[in-house]
Amino acid sequence: MSTKVVMEALSPTMEEGRLVKWTKAVGDAVKAGETLAEVETDKAVMELVARADGQLLQQAVKEGDTVPVGDVVGYIGAPGETVAASGAAAPAVSVQPSAVSAQPAAVRPQPAAVSQQPSAVATGPVAVADATRVKASPLARRIARETGVDLRLLHGSGPGGRVVRKDLEGAAAVPVPRPSSPVPVAVSGAAYEDVPLTQIRKTIAKRLATSLGPVPHFFLTSEVDMERAAEAREALNRQLGDQGKEKISFNDIILKAVALALTRHRACNAWWQDDHIRFWNEVHLGMAVAVEDGLITPVLRDADRRPLSEIGAVARELAQRARERRLKPEEYTGSTFSVSNLGMFDIDQFTAVINPPEAGIVAVGAIVPKPVVVDGEVTVRRRVRLTMSCDHRVIDGATGAAFLRTLKQMLENPLAMLL
Amino acid sequence: MTTATAQPQQQSPADAALQRRMLREMLLIRRFEEKAAEAYALGKIGGFCHLYIGQEAVAVGVSAALTPADYVISSYREHGQALVRGISARAVMAELFGKATGCSGGKGDSMHLFDAEKRFMGGHGIVGGHLPLAAGLAFAIKYRGGDQVCVCFFGEAAVNIGAFHEAVNMASVWKLPVIFLCENNRYGMGTAFERVAAVTDVVEHACSYDIAGEVVNGMDVLDVHQAARRAIQRARKGGHPTLLEVRTYRFMGHSMSDPLHGVYRTKDEVEEQKRKDPIHQLSHRMLQAGTIDQAGIDALDAEVHAEVGDAVKFADESPDPAPEELLRHVVVD
Amino acid sequence: MPTITYRDALNQALREEMQRDPAVFLMGEEVGLYQGAYKVSRGLLEEFGAQRVVDTPIAELGFAGIGVGAAMGGLRPVIEFMTWNFAVLALDQIVNSAAKMLYMSGGQLPMPIVFRGPNGAALQLASQHSQAWESWLAHIPGLKVVAPATPADAKGLLKSAIRDNNPVVVLEGEMLYNTKGEVPEGELLVPIGQADVKRAGSDVTVICHSKTVAPALKAAEQLAGQGVSAEVVDLRSLRPLDESAILTSVAKTHRAVVAEEGWPHSGIGAQVADVIQRDAFDELDAPVLRVTQADAPMPYNKQLERLAKPTPDKIVAAARRVLYLD
């Protein structure tokens, strides 16, 4: 009986792999654990190893072919043995049938229900699940599922590195809200209404309490003239409109300006890491998005390197999926700095709470026309107030002020962004 | 102790009608068991199935001495006792077939026939296990001041079991209205009683426990009937238990899966015993006395043939128990 | 509310039920003239007479079977075993006759019978007289099994058992007979199949029954001193098992320790752990741990006996482990 060699999930996110090179030829003796082939995953080139002893009977895919995880790439068996007729096209793979037969035969006393249980669970790359398995208590798994925490990013404090509930309490996790949650409804006559905390609300509470309390905040505010940015935006949008493309918003311009300003003020693009400070060379901007029962901060990766039009598209797409709660964990973790905008709520100015371990966040108010003195004359200009919250352990007053000044200059003179 | 071997019948107290009834009941059991053997061979009956062929006179003789209010409890070779207690051939056969219409709803089996209304308190499958139950039924009768009795059928092999001694002792101490009726067919499955019992006359155990005892010829239904009447009367009057050792013989193997003869008994022995066939003995006596003629016997036989044929058809056509029966009656809801 | 012993609570239950229903009778070794080996039946012979308080020979199989037969005949027997160690001789009647009668008769013969007596270890009674049988008995479909820990539960459960139309096994405790507790006067029925939270807590659930309830409560006290809030759930009934009480508590604490007097293999705790893993898998923050008697016959030597038994310290240690404190 030959054993199938299947494309294994060699990274947690891998869905397919390109077989770069066979390291065993047909007819070669192989032992379980020996490398059969090199496979390029979405992240790296990895080794595909034999799961059985014997001889490589067949290479079912050519070098360079890309194969979905779970598909057969070859067969191992006894010398001279022929491969079962099902061939290379067999869709998925079976793991050892004995693993399947370990299913409990009887479950509960309902005999009818039991007899309807499928007796075998033969599809799906079960074996690979172990390779990426995170040891976590069932409760920790449930909380992680409900709050959207990626268990792989955590260090478990339980026996053998098991992730337990307490490890999730301090996790750098941003919740994925559940589709429905109790919304407080005013009940006439009642002095108050007690509404239980949802998981997302609990997480927000915990996370923000670990911010304002332990993080020594200070705040810097600057009013920025947006008139030239507005002119630039109108010009750009005319052009984009002619090309049938999506228009850019003030927020896109602010995101882009913040990202560029950060590249010039690395001191503000940093994480507080208790015993060290990590200064980032990449700029990943968290953008706070209000969702039905909380907020979530999707990450605009490499914001400094993306063109303005792309920032707009990506930001809208992320925000949309955030509201639909369809973000993947890696799409809301790993930001280096954040921006929060409440301009649409007609808030002139506010202070935002830092999202640890980041060291700063910029709070954007509404853009409002104001009488200002320009060149000795009172005139009406569109103005916005930006407030930066800084973690004083990372950013000093002057450091923050310098960053904010650069940001102001870029917005007031969009051409400066090109410098 | 009043150990007494029954004397040959000088004058039958049973009238012709009673004899005719007993002949019919023995024929019914015989034909029923033959059909059961056939159905077993056809795979209609599964599991264990212990036939009563050869021992018919015991159940019939005792049953004729009981009232409907009396209790009967038995071991796993109890088809005959169930039938003469009044459970229909249909309900017994359907139980052997494992059908919903069986007297235990198809959940008992050949060894666990029950009809509480007919006071047939079960076949029981653990050798000797039902002897204490018989004493308990008698205890309940006495507790309530009733005049019923409980007859407990068991094989001679049960005498070697502790439960026999515990039950007989307490029945004697408490003067319970119970008749311990040992059907001594000489073999516990494939082991001759004398090979495993220090005292081979079962009746002698009556002496140990200070109760009445009698040895009875189990191939003679009238002899069984007379002895049963005496024992039942003793129990009814003053709650004195009796141990009846009824000497009988099974013409078949221990169960359907056992040989008729072989290493433990010879074919000659079985043939010799078959010459004492209780049905033949009674019919011969009745023919001699002129209380029946051959045509009458043939008519009775045809009647029970039809009854058993109908029972098989009924059992065959009856439905299996519904799946929900699996979890029903585990406890009273 | 009067404070009485567990022994007297059982006595009250028997007396009240025998007064209420003339079909109820008590049978067993030394229950009458001697007033009961543990004096549970004190005064009953005098009140109800020898027909209803029946002294038997030492013949557990026989009188258990007589009880079953009497139940078939419409009575409601209470069969007392001097201890459950001797009741093993009667298992054929309990298992093959009592538990199956209803089922194999196709529902014709209910079995209103109670089998009761002390279960488990006392003090230095050694191997053959120090055994906890609940997992054997709770294994059997057709039986109900209760194991009261307090005088009030003893009275309420025995009364419920006597009124039940199924065979009910009542596991008492020699070491419990002298314990005292408040027992409400008059009618007291504790439903069979209902656990009781003997102490509320939030960090860890200790599931116990019968003689492990007291050590579990002591353990909870010790844990409280260490800042751990333990919830003590007394199962009271082992069959049917109050799964919802177990699950409710574990959903609150996310950690469970099961304490029992029996041996570890195939024990009650294994059953409870199965319930938890099956229906509260996502609630668990740690594996369920069990505290049991040592996996050995009970030694006579006092020190060894102490080592063998479940103790508050062992329960505390298990609780700390499921809390990842040790």
Q: Is the pLDDT of residue A113 over 80?
A: no
Classify residue C325 by burial, with Cβ atoms within 10 Å: 0-12, 13-18, 19+.
middle
CA atoms within 13 A on the CB side of C51: 12
Q: How many CB pairs under 8 A join A and B?
A: 5
B197, B204 contact by CB (below 8 A): no
Write down which chains contact chain A via at least 3 CB pairs under 8 A: B, C
What average pLDDT is seen over chain A?
A: 77
For residue B323, list chain A residues with Cβ-Cβ distance below 8 A.
Answer: 111-112
CB contact under 8 A, B140 and C73: yes
B205, B131 contact by CB (below 8 A): no
- Nearest chain C residue to B141 by CA distance is C73
Q: Which one of C66, C96, C115 would you mutate to disrupt binding with B, by most B Cβ within 10 Å of its Cβ? A: C66
Tell me what pLDDT residue A364 has. Answer: 94
Q: Give the whole-angstrom CA distance, residue A264 versus residue A404.
A: 11
Tell me what pLDDT residue A192 has. Answer: 55
For residue C54, list chain B residues with Cβ-Cβ distance below 8 A.
Answer: 174
C232, C216 contact by CB (below 8 A): yes
| A143 reaches C (C-beta below 8 A) | no
| A111 reaches B (C-beta below 8 A) | yes
Closest Cβ opposite residue C93 in set B121, B132, B169: B132
Q: Is the pLDDT of residue A394 over 90?
A: no
Tell me what pLDDT residue A203 has. Answer: 60
Tell me what pLDDT residue C168 has. Answer: 98
Tell me what pLDDT residue A88 has. Answer: 40
Q: Is the pLDDT of residue A178 over 60?
A: no
The whole-angstrom distance between C232's CA and the closest CA on chain B is 29
For residue B331, list chain C residues with Cβ-Cβ distance below 8 A.
Answer: 102, 142, 144, 166
CB contact under 8 A, C62 and B132: yes
CA atoms within 13 A on the CB side of B108: 36
Per DSSP, the three-state class of A218 is strand
Q: Is the pLDDT of residue A179 over 80?
A: no
Q: Is the pLDDT of residue A386 over 90?
A: yes
A29, A55 contact by CB (below 8 A): yes
- Identify which has the larger pLDDT, A110 or A160: A160
DSSP for B25-51?
HHHHHHHHHHHHHHHHHTTSS-S----
Q: Is the pLDDT of residue A194 over 70?
A: no
Q: How confident is the model at residue B10 (pLDDT cuts 50, 70, 90)?
A: very low
Taking residues A306-320, what's their average pLDDT? 88
ipTM of the complex model: 0.94
Place of tokens 């009940």: A187
Q: Annotated catalytic, A391?
A: no
**Which residues, 6 or more positions from B171, have their beta carbon under 8 angstroms from its beta carbon?**
B135, B138, B178, B180, B209, B211, B241
Helix or strand (DSSP H, E) at A142 = helix A138-147
Closest Cβ opposite residue C282 in set A141, A157, A159: A141
The whole-angstrom distance between B282's CA and the closest CA on chain C is 34
Q: Give the whole-angstrom CA distance, residue C70 versus residue B178.
A: 13
| A139 reaches C (C-beta below 8 A) | yes
Helix or strand (DSSP H, E) at B181 = strand B178-184
Q: How far is the CA of C207 from the CAs of A306, C156, C195, C263, in angstroms?
A: 60, 20, 10, 16
Tell me what pLDDT residue A208 has. Answer: 63
At C84, give phi and psi (nearest 5°).
-70, -15
Q: What is the pLDDT of residues B175-220, one digit of tens each?
A: 999 999 999 999 999 999 999 999 999 999 999 999 999 999 999 9
For residue C160, list chain B residues with Cβ-Cβ distance below 8 A.
Answer: none
| A334 reaches C (C-beta below 8 A) | no
Place of tokens 């199962």: C235
Per DSSP, the three-state class of A379 is strand
Place of tokens 């009608």: B17
Taking residues C61-70, what's their average pLDDT? 98
Task: Tell me the sheet residues that pair with C145.
Answer: C169, C239
- Nearest chain B residue to C106 by CA distance is B104
At A327, give phi and psi (nearest 5°).
-75, 145
Taking residues C248-266, what's their average pLDDT? 97
Q: Give the whole-angstrom CA distance, residue A203 versus residue A174.
A: 8
Quote the pTM value: 0.67
- Identify which has the larger pLDDT, C60 or A417: C60
Q: How confident is the model at residue B61 (pLDDT cuts 50, 70, 90)?
A: very high
Encoded tokens for B241: 């238990």
CB contact under 8 A, A139 and C324: no
Residue A164: which region, alpha, beta or left (left: phi > 0; alpha: psi -120 to 50)?
beta
CB contact under 8 A, C70 and B136: yes
The whole-angstrom distance between C219's CA and the closest CA on chain B is 37
Encoded tokens for B95: 């139980």
Encoded tokens for B124: 């029981």
CB contact under 8 A, B122 and C51: no
| A165 reaches C (C-beta below 8 A) | yes
| A112 reaches B (C-beta below 8 A) | yes
User: Which is it for strands C180-182 and C3-5: parallel, antiparallel or unpaired?
Assistant: antiparallel
Percentage of chain B lying above the pLDDT 70 cut: 96
Encoded tokens for C28: 């067993």
Reference C6, options C39, C31, C36, C28; nearest CA is: C39
Q: Which one of A110, A114, A115, A116 would you mutate to disrupt binding with B, by most B Cβ within 10 Å of its Cβ? A: A110
Taking residues B150-169, what's their average pLDDT? 98
CB contact under 8 A, C282 and A140: no
Closest Cβ opposite residue C286 in set A137, A141, A142: A137
Q: How many CB pairs under 8 A join A and C?
A: 27
Reference A174, options A194, A147, A136; nearest CA is: A147
Task: Tell me the sheet residues that pair with A340.
Answer: A363
Q: Give the whole-angstrom CA distance, residue A330 versus residue A299.
A: 8
For residue A112, list chain B residues with Cβ-Cβ distance below 8 A.
Answer: 323
Q: Give the whole-angstrom CA distance, residue C39 versus residue C41.
A: 5
Tell me what pLDDT residue C62 has. Answer: 98
Q: What is the pLDDT of residues C193-230, one digit of tens each?
A: 999 999 999 999 999 999 999 999 999 999 999 999 99
At A232, give phi and psi (nearest 5°).
-60, -40
Q: Give the whole-angstrom CA distance, residue C275 versus residue C249.
A: 12
CB-based burial, C198-213: b 16+ in 10 Å, e otherwise: bbebebbbbbbbbbbb
Tell me what pLDDT residue A241 has. Answer: 82
CB contact under 8 A, A137 and C324: no
Percentage of chain C lying above the pLDDT 70 cut: 100
Q: Give the whole-angstrom CA distance, residue A375 versus residue A382.
A: 16
User: Which is it for strands A277-279 and A270-272: parallel, antiparallel or unpaired?
Assistant: antiparallel
Q: What is the pLDDT of residues A181-192, one digit of tens each?
A: 334 344 444 455
CB contact under 8 A, C324 and A138: no
Tell me what pLDDT residue B265 has. Answer: 92
**In degrees, to the nearest 5, what angle opens at C-alpha B176 toward C-alphas B175 and B179?**
115
Q: Is the pLDDT of residue B24 over 60?
A: yes
| C104 reaches B (C-beta below 8 A) | yes
CB contact under 8 A, C285 and A164: yes
Residue B275: which region, alpha, beta or left (left: phi > 0; alpha: psi -120 to 50)?
alpha
Write down which chains contact chain C via at least 3 CB pairs under 8 A: A, B
Q: What is the pLDDT of residues C271-289, one digit of tens each?
A: 999 999 999 998 999 999 9
Taking residues A10-32, what's their average pLDDT? 83
CB contact under 8 A, A141 and C324: no
For residue C254, list chain A residues with Cβ-Cβ distance below 8 A.
Answer: 139, 165
User: Which is it for strands C53-55 and C24-28: parallel, antiparallel or unpaired?
Assistant: parallel
Q: What is the pLDDT of residues B241-283, one digit of tens each?
A: 999 999 999 999 998 888 888 789 999 999 999 999 999 999 9
Task: Tell me the sheet residues that pair with A224.
Answer: A384
Q: What is the pLDDT of residues A233-291, one digit of tens each?
A: 888 888 888 887 788 888 999 999 999 999 989 889 988 887 788 888 889 999 988 87
The whole-angstrom distance between C277's CA and the closest CA on chain A is 10
Closest Cβ opposite residue C66 in set B103, B114, B136: B136
User: Which is it for strands B187-188 and B191-192: parallel, antiparallel or unpaired?
Assistant: antiparallel
Q: What is the pLDDT of residues A195-240, one digit of tens each?
A: 555 555 566 666 666 666 678 888 999 999 998 898 888 888 888 8
Task: Report CA Rg, chain B.
Answer: 19
Q: Give the whole-angstrom CA distance, residue A72 versus residue A153.
A: 31
For residue A159, list chain C residues with Cβ-Cβ distance below 8 A.
Answer: 324
In chain B, count H helices and then E strands. Answer: 12, 8
B247, B218 contact by CB (below 8 A): yes
Q: How many CB pairs under 8 A join B and C?
A: 143
Q: How confident is the model at residue A110 (pLDDT cuts 50, 70, 90)?
A: very low
The whole-angstrom distance between C112's CA and the closest CA on chain B is 10
For residue B326, list chain A residues with Cβ-Cβ distance below 8 A.
Answer: 111
Q: What is the pLDDT of residues C31-47, one digit of tens each?
A: 999 999 999 999 999 99
What are the residue numbers of the active site of C? 60, 129
Most confident of A99-103, A182-186, B36-40, B160-164: B160-164
Largest CA distance in chain C: 60
The whole-angstrom distance between A110's CA and the closest CA on chain B is 8
- Nearest chain B residue to C98 by CA distance is B133
Q: Give the whole-angstrom CA distance, residue B95 versus residue B290.
A: 39
User: Which is it for strands A35-40 and A3-6: parallel, antiparallel or unpaired?
Assistant: unpaired
| C25 reaches B (C-beta below 8 A) | yes
Write down which chains contact chain B via at least 3 CB pairs under 8 A: A, C
Task: Tell me the sheet residues that pair with A363.
Answer: A340, A387
Q: Is the pLDDT of residue C102 over 70?
A: yes
At B54, give phi and psi (nearest 5°).
105, -25
CB-based burial, C240-257: b 16+ in 10 Å, e otherwise: ebbbebbbbbbebbbbbb
C122, C83 contact by CB (below 8 A): no
For residue C142, list chain A residues with Cβ-Cβ distance below 8 A.
Answer: none
C182, C152 contact by CB (below 8 A): yes
Q: Which one of B76, B103, B133 would you mutate to disrupt binding with C, by most C Cβ within 10 Å of its Cβ? A: B133
Encoded tokens for C73: 């005949």
Classify residue B39 by burial, with Cβ atoms within 10 Å: 0-12, 13-18, 19+.
buried
For residue B329, list chain C residues with Cβ-Cβ distance below 8 A.
Answer: 102-103, 106-107
Count of residues in chain B: 333
Reference B102, options B113, B94, B112, B114; nearest CA is: B94
The whole-angstrom distance between C173's CA and the closest CA on chain B is 26
> CB B227: neighbour CB atoms within 10 A?
28
Q: Is the pLDDT of residue C55 over 50?
A: yes
Encoded tokens for C136: 């054997």
CB contact under 8 A, B327 and A109: yes
Tell me what pLDDT residue A201 has. Answer: 58
Comparing A76-80, A368-372, B27-31, B127-131, the range with the smallest average pLDDT is A76-80
DSSP for B113-146?
--BTTTTEEEE--STTTTHHHHHHHHHHHHHTT-
Q: How confident is the model at residue A70 (pLDDT cuts 50, 70, 90)?
A: confident
Q: How confident is the model at residue A67 (pLDDT cuts 50, 70, 90)?
A: confident
